[in-house]
Structure 1
Amino acid sequence: MPIADLFPAAEGILSLTPANKTELLELVSAAAAARMGRSKDEVLDALQARERLGSTALGRGVAMPHTRMAGMDKPVAILARLTRAIEFDARDGEPVDLVFTVLWPEDASEGFLPALSNICRVLRDNQLPRQLRQARSADEALAMLRAADHTAPDARPEED
């Protein structure tokens, strides 16, 4: 799934100041729940259950909390740029300051892993996380995400 489909508008990009991992998950759960019309606790419980299986920190200051939930119509994604890095149990020991939260409809499992994989792929380029950390606005961060996504229809090379 192209990143532009996961992040259709800048409202999915937040600047947050959590004190720790628990508070971060509470904040993104509240933001996601408001977009989904669900309770914050329901979203938080799902994200915490996934974190109990193992940290979703990817390394290099990036985490991707994710889960599938019943009763969702479409995926919800939120990018949170933290004003101060927090401990997130990352394997590389680096604190996290960029957090991609992805909530996916349980009934639409076919797109879940490709969407997560696409986010990981665009983040492999060291430039994108650096650029996202320096973005002056949510709109600018969204433009950076879209530009980095080579799966987007307008980013594919033209055929002869």
Structure 2
Amino acid sequence: MAIADLFPAAEGILSLGPANKAELLDMLSTEAASRLGHPKDDILQALLAREKLGSTALGRGVALPHTRLSWLQEPLAILARLNRPIDLDARDGEPVDLVFLVLWPESASEGFLPALSGICRALRDDHLPRQLRQARSAAEALAMLQAADQQDRDPQP
């Protein structure tokens, strides 16, 4: 699944001000629950269980919290740009200020890892994260994500 399909509209991009990891996951769960019409606690518990397996912080200020949910029908992705970086136990020790939340239907497991790897590929150098940190609007950030995804999908000469 293309990044553009995961983030089909600018509403998928938030500005948040959590003080720590627990608050961040709570805020993301609240937002996802309101979009999905499902109890926040179900989402939060799944995210917390995933974090217990190991931090989803990728390094260089980026995190990719993700989980599969049995009741979910369609994938949901939210990009959160944090007002100030917070510690998410990244291996490189860098605090996180860009968070890509991915919730995936358990029944569609074949697309889950390709979606996560697509996000990681788009973030493989500092160009996209730097652009996202400087985006002046959610629409601009969405356009940056779509352009990075398209560039990644276009064959190189």
TM-score (norm 1): 0.94
Tell me the secondary structure at the aligned position of residue 107 of structure 1: helix
Task: State the match for 1:39 in structure 2.
Answer: 39
How do 1:17-32 and structure 2 match up within 5 A?
Answer: 17-32=17-32
Q: Distance in 1 between matches of 2:92 and 2:149?
A: 25
Q: Distance in 1 between matches of 2:27 and 2:73?
A: 22
Task: State the match for 2:122 in structure 1.
Answer: 122
Task: State the match for 2:69 in structure 1.
Answer: 69
TM-score (norm 2): 0.96
Q: How many residues align?
A: 156
Instruction: Name structure 2 gaps, 5 residues minimum.
Output: none
Segments of 4+ moved more than 3 angstroms: none
Q: Distance in 2 between matches of 1:125 and 1:73?
A: 32
How do 1:88-99 and structure 2 match up within 5 A?
Answer: 88-99=88-99
* Residue deviations 1:2-50 (CA, integer Å, cap 9, x gap): 0111000000100000000100000010111111111111100000000
Tell me the secondary structure at the aligned position of residue 81 of structure 2: strand
Q: Distance in 1 between matches of 2:9 and 2:51?
A: 27
* Shift in Å, 1:151: 7.1
Identity of aligned residues (%): 73
Tell me the secondary structure at the aligned position of residue 111 of structure 2: helix
Tell me the secondary structure at the aligned position of residue 150 of structure 1: helix
Contact 1:64–1:100 (CA under 8 A) maintained in structure 2: yes
Q: Distance in 2 between matches of 1:151 and 1:66?
A: 24
